[in-house]
Amino acid sequence: MSQQQVEPHMFVIIGATGDLTRRKLLPALYHLRDQGILETRNTLIVGAALPEMGEEGFRLWAFEGLQKAGWHNNTELRAWCDECLHYQTVHEGAVQDYEALAGYIRRLERTHNMPENRVFYLALPPDTVPIAIQRLDQAGLLKSRGWVRVVFEKPFGHDFHSAQHLNTTLHHYIDESQIYRIDHYLGKETVQNLLAFRFANPIFESLWNRDRIENVQITVAEDLGVEHRGAYYQQAGALRDMVQNHLTQLMTVVAMEVPVSFDAGAIQSEKLKVLHSIAPITHEDAVFGQYSSWQIAGQTIPGYREEPGVPKDSDTETYVALKAEIQNWRWKGVPFYLRTGKRFPRKLTQVAVIFREAPTQVFRSLDPGSIASNKLLITLQPSEGFSLCFSVKSPGRPFRLSDHALQFDYQKSLGQLPEAYETLLRDVMIGDQTLFVSAEFTETAWRLYTPLLTGDRTVYPYTAGTWGPREADALVERYGHQWQLGW
């Protein structure tokens, strides 16, 4: 949120030759440079990874990746790669490999007359993170005369105890103020604008409570299957992969109280209060599903158990729907429904706020099905924006009502939006933790969902290309509601 300028620093990517670096990090860094946020002489990017590719090989690899990402100003692009990108092999990650990396970084800092400000982005498999932090400490890279910040990707643990242990390990080497746990959903403009939407517009904030809102639904639907991530997904499942982080973050942004100020500590504190207010979620209020094969136009879409790396008898869930109850003054009695899944009919990330019906219905003589509740739909994907849905009279006779919406589309109104990683990387560089996840938030979220990972549970099949198992519809119908999809 801050307008602070980016200080000169070294941006070090550990695990730099992976897909994340090529698809997300390098394009975001180059775009920040294109916007004038990063100056070439002030930011050096060092890749560190296993392959023996050398600096020229890494620069060429990055150049080709940026071209695929859509940049075609080849002369300028190649110049940036040559001036800003550096590379050091770390082999198997032994102590001496990190000591060599430390020597390389210090030589670059002396050569370019840079302060010892360093960002270490750990683009690594989760099980290698603790040893990487230990190696960085042993090489003396976590101590400097400037500042040091370390960035972590999800998953951050796989249950409450593993997350707690990981936090304890990290805090042995670095302070919480140096830790940046990325949830890229928080970098999306619509999520940030939800804060402005609520707290800068009293007309909506005055309606944001149990007296006016009947239920809230958060949907993260993916149209693809697990693809090449079968082995990872088999260990994770939808609850770990999506609900514990992305959907829970969205829920806390929707439900939080007005913070005392617009800074990281105040916002994180209010989000944490929401988590602490959630009643235990039981298996009765959670539905798990797994997509099965689908025949369309003579083509077979494989089921989860037919995906590479997935056992034929797997009971890992690719779908979760659950009901959460926030037991505080604002939200008591308002169910929050969360659902996510793979192989849905289309890609959609949406928050639906369903308002209560009028206490008396003037138009009771009309078909009850023609009178819909007011809805606020906040869409994050595929197109970011807001829709406020309401009823109006259709022209002519007989008297009929129809649903319409006031819509705001970000891209149509304000042009191209920054990618989430651009926002988050800039915030790391200026030291703003507002959009990042704290240790206590991570552990509290895991404490909430870990009971659903154990015990007897049924994983219901659903056909790929549908919106999930019928049992998930029954979950919301049990409380008199229906899933919302658009207006």
pLDDT at 112: 92
Cα 251 to Cα 217: distance, rounded to the nearest angstrom: 9
Q: Which DSSP string corresponds to 243-305?
A: IIIIIHHHHHHHHPPPPSSSSHHHHHHHHHHHHHHBPPPPGGGEEEEEEE-EEETTEEEPPGG
Q: Are strands 385-393 and 375-381 parallel, antiparallel or unpaired?
A: antiparallel
Q: Is 434 helix (H, G, I), strand (E, B) or coil?
A: coil
Cα 320 to Cα 299: distance, rounded to the nearest angstrom: 27
Cα 378 to Cα 254: distance, rounded to the nearest angstrom: 10
pTM for this model (two decimals): 0.90
Sheet holding 459-463, edge to edge: 401-409, 385-393, 375-381, 348-355, 213-221, 335-341, 319-325, 286-292, 459-463
pLDDT at 1: 45
Q: How many CA atoms lie within 13 A of 67 on its CB side?
A: 13
> Tens digits of per-residue pLDDT, 433-442?
988 999 999 9
Residue tagged active-site, from 9, 158, 246, 481: 246
Dihedral sign (CA 229, 232, 237, 238): negative
Q: Is 78 helix (H, G, I), strand (E, B) or coil?
A: helix
Q: Which DSSP string corresponds to 178-235?
A: GEEE--GGGGSHHHHHHHHHHHS-HHHHTT-STTTEEEEEEEEE-SS--GGGHHHHHH
Q: What amino acid is encoded at 24 in this protein?
A: K
Cβ burial 334-364 (10 Å sphere, 16+ → b, else e): bbbbbbbbbbbeeebbbbbbbbeeeeeeeee
pLDDT at 57: 94
pLDDT at 213: 96
Ordered by where they begin, the domains of the chain are 9-153 (3.40.50.720), 188-418+437-477 (3.30.360.10)
- Beta strands in 281-373, from DSSP E residues, in sequence order: 286-292, 294-296, 299-301, 319-325, 335-341, 348-355
Angle (nearest 5°) at CA 409 between 406 and 413:
110
Low-confidence ranges of the chain (pLDDT < 50): 1-2
Cα 247 to Cα 437: distance, rounded to the nearest angstrom: 13
Within 10 angstroms of residue 404's Cβ, the number of other Cβ atoms is: 14
CA 362 to chain centre: 43
Q: What amino acid is encoded at 415 in this protein?
A: G
Dihedral sign (CA 377, 378, 380, 385): positive
List Cβ neighbours of 487 (8 Å cut-off, separation of 6 or more). Answer: 375, 377, 387, 389, 403, 405
pLDDT at 297: 72
Does the annotation count 72 as an active-site position? no
pLDDT at 99: 96
